[in-house]
C-alpha cells in the first residue's frame, strides 16, 4: 500500500483502557491495543494536520499476560490519595503496519499535500524511534519504537487460530477528521487470527456515538505550523 510504514513497538507495561474508566477508580486493560492507542503511537512518530494516519494491521508478538499493581492516585478534591489496583499488560510487543492519507477536510492545508516528502520523513522518524515520547495506552507505560518488516520473526500466536474479543472501543473521530463540528466515539468487535488484528477503517464502524460538539483548530504557517517542504529541507539539507 502507498505511504505505508512498518515498525515494532514494545515496553514493560501497557494499559489500554475504555475511556469510560478514565474518570477514576480501578482500571483494567483490554487484552489487545485499541485502534486509537496505535494511532496515537503513529502520530507520536510523525504527524501533520494535513494527513490522517490509518492503522492497517497489528501483530501481537508476545503472550497476552496481565499484572496487577497497587497505586495511589491523587484525589484532587482534598489533596489526599487512595489505594487503587490497576491491571496492566506485561511485556507487550506489537508489529504495526499503518499508512497515511491526506485530510480532505483541511483544504486550507492543500499546499502541504506532498505524499513523497511526508512518506520519507515518516520513514526517517521511524528509524529514529519517533519524534515524541511513546506511550502504550497511558503515560506511565513508556514504549519504544524500532523499524521492522511486518511479519518477520516468531509470534507467540503463530498458528493459534481465531480469537474474538467482543465489543470494545475503536477510537475517536475528531471534528477535523469528521463532520467538522462533533467529537464521536466508535465501537467495534475485533478478531485476532494467528496473532494478527486487521483493523477496519473508522468510517466502517457500525456503532458510533456523538460525545460533544467541537471545532476545527486553525493552523497558520510560521505561527503554529511548518510545511512539509520546510521540514524536508531541514532534514535532508536540500539547497
Rounded Cα–Cα distance for residues 82 and 84 (Å): 6
The CA dihedral of 122, 126, 127, 129, to the nearest 10 degrees, is 130
The vertex-142 CA angle with 11 and 83, nearest 5°, equals 105
Under DSSP, the state recorded for 206 is: S
Inter-CA distances, 179 with 100, 173, 174, 183, 220, Å: 19, 9, 8, 9, 21
Three-class DSSP category at 32: coil
For 16, the 3-state DSSP assignment is coil
Per-residue pLDDT tens, the chain, 239 aa: give them: 789 999 999 999 999 988 777 666 788 999 999 999 999 999 999 999 999 999 999 999 999 999 999 887 766 666 666 778 899 999 999 999 999 999 999 998 999 999 999 999 999 999 999 999 999 999 999 999 999 999 999 999 999 999 999 999 999 999 999 988 999 999 999 999 999 999 999 999 999 999 999 888 888 887 778 889 888 888 776 44
Strand partners, 70: 85
Q: Which three cell numbers stand for residue 217?
A: 483548530
Q: Please state the pTM of the whole predicted model.
A: 0.92
Which DSSP helix (H) or strand (E) runs through 191? Answer: strand 191-193
Whole-number Å distance between alpha carbons of 229 and 238: 10
CATH of domain 4-236: 3.30.70.2660
Domain segments of the chain as ranges: 4-236
- Encode pLDDT of 121-155 as tens digits: 999 999 999 999 999 999 999 999 999 999 999 99
Amino acid at each position: 500500500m502507498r505511504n505505508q510504514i512498518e515498525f515494532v513497538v514494545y515496553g514493560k507495561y501497557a494499559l489500554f483502557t475504555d475511556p469510560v474508566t478514565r474518570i477514576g477508580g480501578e482500571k483494567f486493560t483490554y487484552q489487545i491495543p485499541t485502534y486509537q492507542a496505535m494511532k496515537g503511537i503513529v502520530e507520536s512518530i510523525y504527524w501533520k494536520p494535513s494527513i490522517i494516519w490509518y492503522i492497517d494491521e497489528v501483530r501481537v508478538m508476545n503472550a497476552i499476560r496481565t499484572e496487577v499493581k497497587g497505586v495511589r492516585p491523587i484525589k484532587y478534591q482534598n489533596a489526599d490519595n487512595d489505594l487503587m489496583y490497576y491491571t496492566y499488560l506485561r511485556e507487550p510487543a506489537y508489529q504495526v503496519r499503518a499508512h497515511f492519507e491526506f485530510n480532505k477536510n483541511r483544504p486550507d492545508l492543500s499546499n502541504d499535500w506532498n505524499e513523497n516528502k511526508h512518506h520519507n520523513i515518516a520513514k526517517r522518524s521511524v528509524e529514529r524511534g519517533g519524534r515524541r515520547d511513546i506511550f502504550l495506552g497511558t503515560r506511565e507505560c513508556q514504549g519504544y519504537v524500532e523499524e521492522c518488516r511486518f511479519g518477520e520473526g516468531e509470534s507467540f500466536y503463530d498458528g493459534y487460530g481465531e480469537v474474538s474479543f467482543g465489543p470494545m472501543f475503536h477510537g475517536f473521530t475528531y471534528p477535523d477528521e469528521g463532520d467538522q463540528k462533533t467529537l464521536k466515539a466508535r465501537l467495534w468487535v475485533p478478531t485476532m487470527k494467528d496473532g494478527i488484528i486487521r483493523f477496519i477503517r473508522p468510517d466502517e464502524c457500525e456503532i458510533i456515538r456523538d460525545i460533544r460538539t467541537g471545532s476545527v483548530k486553525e493552523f497558520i504557517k510560521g505561527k503554529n505550523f511548518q510545511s512539509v517542504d520546510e521540514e524536508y529541507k531541514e532534514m535532508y539539507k536540500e539547497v
